[in-house]
Structure 1
Amino acid sequence: MHVLIIGAGLAGLTCGRILDTLGVQVTIVDASDGIGGRVRSDHADGFTFDRGFQVLFEAYPAARRHLDLDALQLRRFDPGAIICLSGKRFVLTDPFRDRAAALDAALTPVVPPLDKARVLLLAQYLRRRSIDEVLEGEDETTLSYLRRLGFSEQTINSFFRPFYGGIFLDRSLRTSAKCFRFDFKMLSDGPAALPARGMGAIAGQLGDALLERGLIRLNAPVAELITDNGRVTGAQLASGEEVFADAVVVATPAPEAARLSGLPMPQGALQTITLYFGGSAPLYQGRKIALNAAPDALVNNAQMISNVAPEYAPPGRHLLSATILGASSLSDDDLYRATLADLRRMFAGDTAALTALERYQPLRLYRISYAQFPQAPGIHTLLPDNRSGRPGLFFAGEFTEASSLNAAMISGEKCAAAVMEERRGF
């Protein structure tokens, strides 16, 4: 059996790796010049730049199944966050896992004491439950869920909107509460981390061996699928070349999957911009993310990447990333200037940070036009299956599960299983 996989993102790589291990002949084609899809890293002048700020949740079940976490040399964020509001900074953390910051977090006034207790109770509640239990029941928006749990608007606005807005790419918190509970559980069960060589090392673990053996073809965009009497039998590349197979797996982002298959896919696109700056001194100490709680924030979150993973910057240098939610019509130069201005607001009152920031230089900017699909309450029951319903055509992509690295790998697993079921008929 020969399987053609269109797309070398995490889902396609996971599917291809499993099938290859099971003895199936695999060909993976991708339109870009490298593997990983949206999980890629660039290296220049001693710096590592992930294509969009991303982290790996170590508690992801699929990551534990498919990745050698030790080999990734994970560099871990500290729990919690630094909340920047009105020229001041406040620390929020899990006192059981971050005892060094426990006192500062206990004294911070930006989150009322009852809400701090609610956060701890929610963490304990979700830790004791399986993922299936966390995801069961009726769905609702994250905002309505938090309000139903009794969280104050002050805590919702100062912490949950920027923190989970950075995860969901939507500060409105209209995202499914099931997504929120899952991510909250993952962050309660384990740390967020960066591979020492960048997020692209995740894709490397899944696909480098396939690439070295010539099973992955890059710079090979697909023009259309080939069908014969209703069965999908291959794909025509943009070059005109035809590649035939016994089964075809579409493992692209949802818009491209819709174009190729003509079948319904999740609609909409959440966009984000990541900007990188280099400097000679860190803006702050520690390995926490800095959240911009201002209601008119341009920068949603900023992080001293080199505090977490020193390998991301050359010796004597420091790397700062800033995340903007949505798109922007500003030019790159104007966007750098506007971002630096907002960072000055975030760190106002901290003379050392402002002095250091004046010496930071723009390094890289990534505009991610399709970072996630919107996940409104109830959407997950409406997502496509790995089996397309058309003979010979399968799907492997986060759009069959949820918008996350974990979901992409799970979709790859399920697609490989579906293909193997079909193989038994050969």
Structure 2
Amino acid sequence: MHVLIVGAGLAGLTCGRILDSLGVNVTVVEAGDGIGGRVRSDYADGFTFDRGFQVLFEAYPAARRHLDMEGLHLRRFDPGAIICLHGRRFVLTDPLRDPTAAIDAALAPIVPPFDKLRILLLAQRLRRQPIDAVLAGDDETTLAYLRRCGLSEQTINVFFRPFYGGIFLDRSLRTSAKCFRFDFKMLSEGAAALPAHGMGAIAEQLGTPLRERGLIRLHAPVTALIDSSGRVTGVRLESGEELSADAVVVATPAPEAARLSGLPMPQGALQTITLYFGGDRPVYQGRKIVLNAASDALVNNAQMLSNVAPEYAPPGRHLLSVSVLGASSLSDEDLSRAALADLRRMFAGDTAALAALEGYQPLRIYRLSYAQFPQAPGIHPLLPDNRSGRPGLYFAGEFTEASSLNAAMISGEKCAAAVMEDRQA
């Protein structure tokens, strides 16, 4: 049996690895010049630039199944965050997992004491529940769920909007509460981490066994599926070459899957911009993410990546990553200038941070026009199945599960299982 996989993102690579391990003849075709899809890293002048700010949640079940976590040499963020508002900075953390910051967090007035207790109780409750229970029941927006948990508008605005807005790319918190509960559980059970050599190391680890045996073809964009008597039997490449197969797996982002298959896919696109700045000294100490709680924020979150993973910068240099939600009509130069101005507002009054920022220069900007698909409450039961309904055609992509690295790998697993079940039928 020959299976042709279109797309070398995490879902396609996971599917390909599983099928290959089961003795299936696999070919992966990828339009771009490298594997990983949206999970790639670039390297220049000793710096590591992930294509968009991303982290790996250590507790992701699929990551634990498919990745050699030790081999990634993970560098971990500290729990919680530094919240910037009105020229002041406050620490919020999980005192059980971050005892060194527990006193500062307990004394921080930005979150009411009873809300701190509610957050701890929520973490404990979700840690005790299996994932199926966390995802069960009726859905609602994250905002409605947080309010139902008794959290104040102040806490929602200063912490949950920027922190989970950075994860969901939407500070309105209209995202499904099931997504929130899952991510909250993952962050309460394990750290957010970076591979020492960039997020692209995840894809490299998944793809190396396939690539070493010549099973991945790069620079091979697919223009159309080939249909024979109602069955998908291959693909046509942009070069005009036709490749035949017993089954075709479309493992692309949802818009491309819709174009190739003609079938409905999740609509919409959440956009984000990641800016990288380099300097000679860190803007702040520690390994926490920094949140901008201002209602008119341009910068949603910033992180000293070289504090977390020193390998991200050359010796004597430091790397700062800045996230801006949505798109921007500003030029790269103007956007960099505006982001630095917002950073100065975030660190107002901190003379050391402001002095450090004076020496920071823009290094790279990544504008991601399709970073995630919107996940409104109730969307997940409506997502496509791994079986397309057309003989010979399967889907492997986050759009069959949820928008996350974990979901992409789970979709790859399920797709491989579906192919094998149908082969044996």
User: What is the CA-CA distance between 1:209 and the residue it aligns to?
Assistant: 2.0
What is residue 247 of structure 2 aligned with on the other side?
A: 247
Matched, 1:363 2:363: yes
Report 1:160-309 matches (<5 A): 160-309=160-309
SS in 1 for 2:166: helix
Per-residue deviation, 1:68: 0.3
Q: SS in structure 1 opposite 2:70?
A: coil
Q: Distance in 1 between matches of 2:9 and 2:98?
A: 34
Alpha-carbon separation, structure 1, partners of 2:109 and 2:283: 23
The alpha carbon displacement at 1:214 in A equals 0.9
The alpha-carbon deviation at position 150 of structure 1 amounts to: 0.7
Match of 1:120 in 2: 120
Q: Which runs of 5+ in 2 are unaligned?
A: none
User: 1:213, CA displacement in angstroms?
Assistant: 1.3
The whole-number CA distance in structure 2 between the counterparts of 1:209 and 1:345 is 48
Letter aligned with residue 402 of structure 2: A
Q: Matches of 2:296 and 2:235 in 1, distance apart?
A: 47
Structure 2 CA distance for aligned equivalents of residues 404 and 96 of structure 1: 27
Matched AA of 1:310: P
AA aligned opposite 1:379:
I
Deviation at 1:422, TM superposition (A): 1.7
Aligned twin of 1:312: 312
Question: What letter matches 2:113 in structure 1?
Answer: P
Give the drift of 1:424.
1.4
Looking at structure 2, the residues matched to 64 and 149 of structure 1 have their Cα atoms a distance apart, in angstroms, of 30
1:175-226 Cα offsets, whole Å, 9 max, x none, are 0000000000000010000000000000011002211211000111000000
SS in 2 for 1:233: strand
Opposite residue 267 of structure 2, the aligned amino acid is Q
Separation in structure 1 between the aligned mates of residue 207 and residue 14 of structure 2, nearest angstrom: 8
Matched residues in 2 for 1:251 and 1:151: separation? 39
For residue 327 of structure 2, give the secondary structure of its aligned residue in structure 1.
coil
One-letter identity of the residue aligned with 1:205: Q
Report what 2:332 is aligned to: 332
Counterpart Cα distance in 1 of 2:422 and 2:400: 19
Partners of 1:306 and 1:312 in 2: CA distance: 6
Amino acid at match of 2:218: L
Per-residue deviation, residues 275-332 of structure 1 (Å, max 9, x unmatched)? 0000001011000000000000000000000000000000000000000000001111
Counterpart-to-counterpart distance in 1, 2:281 and 2:175: 37
Cα distance in 2 for partners of 1:297, 1:211 equals 43
Secondary structure of the residue aligned to 1:322 is strand
For 1:404-419, what aligned pairs fall within 5 Å after superposition?
404-419=404-419
Q: Which amino acid aligns with 2:46?
A: G
Aligned twin of 1:73: 73
Cα shift readout 1:115-144 (whole Å, capped 9, x = no counterpart): 000000000000000000000000000000
Question: For the residues of structure 2 that align with 1:285 and 1:71, how far apart are their CA atoms?
Answer: 27
Q: Deviations over 1:212-271 (max 9, x none)?
A: 211000111000000001100000001100000000000000000000000000000000
Partner of 1:347: 347
Letter in 2 for 1:51: R
Aligned to 2:142: 142
Over the residues paired in the alignment, what is the CA RMSD in angstroms?
Answer: 0.5
Render the CA deviation track for 1:35-94: whole Å, top value 9, x for unaligned.
000000001000000000000000000000000000000000000000000011000000
Task: State the aligned residue count.
Answer: 425
Identity of aligned residues (%): 83
* Distance in 2 between residues matched to 1:246 and 1:331, nearest whole Å: 47
Measure, in 1, the Cα distance between the counterparts of 2:117 and 2:31. Answer: 49
Aligned partners of 1:215 and 1:102: how far apart in 2?
A: 50
Aligned AA (1:325): L
Partner of residue 424, structure 1:
424
Query: Normalization by structure 2: what TM-score?
Result: 1.00
The equivalent of 1:375 in structure 2 is: 375
Mapped partners of 2:241, 2:352: distance in 1? 59
Using the TM superposition, name which of 205-214 and 218-227 deviates more: 205-214
- CA distance in structure 2 between the aligned counterparts of 1:94 and 1:206, rounded to whole angstroms: 32
2:198 is paired with a residue whose SS is coil
* Corresponding position of 1:35: 35
Q: Secondary structure at the match of 1:240?
A: coil
Alignment-derived partner of residue 54 in structure 1: 54
Residue identity opposite 1:249 in structure 2: V
Q: Equivalent residue of 1:193, what SS?
A: strand
Task: State the match for 2:82 in structure 1.
Answer: 82
Aligned partner of 1:68: which letter? D
Q: Give the drift of 1:157.
A: 0.3
Match of 1:94 in 2: 94
CA distance, structure 2, for counterparts of residue 316 and residue 18 of structure 1: 42
Structure 1 alignment gaps of length 5 or more: none
Report the AA paired with residue 14 of structure 2.
T
Residues in 2 aligned to 1:394 and 1:355: alpha-carbon distance in whole angstroms = 54
Once superposed, which parts of structure 1, at least 4 consecutive aligned residues long, lie more than 3 Å away?
A: none
User: Per-residue CA shift, 1:334-393, capped at 9, x if unaligned?
Assistant: 111011011111111101000000000110100011000000000000000000000000
Query: How many angstroms apart in 2 are the aligned matches of 1:348 and 1:237?
Result: 54
Aligned mates of 1:54, 1:208 — CA distance in 2 = 21
Q: Distance in 2 between matches of 1:368 and 1:122?
A: 33
Give me the TM-score of the superposition, normalised by structure 1: 0.99
Matched letter for residue 215 of structure 2: L
Q: Which whole-Å CA distance do the structure 2 matches of 1:240 and 1:326 have between them?
A: 37
Give 1:423 shift: 1.6
Counterpart CA distance in 1 for 2:238 and 2:328 is 31
SS of 1:71 mapped into structure 2:
helix
Distance 2:362 2:346 in 1: 18
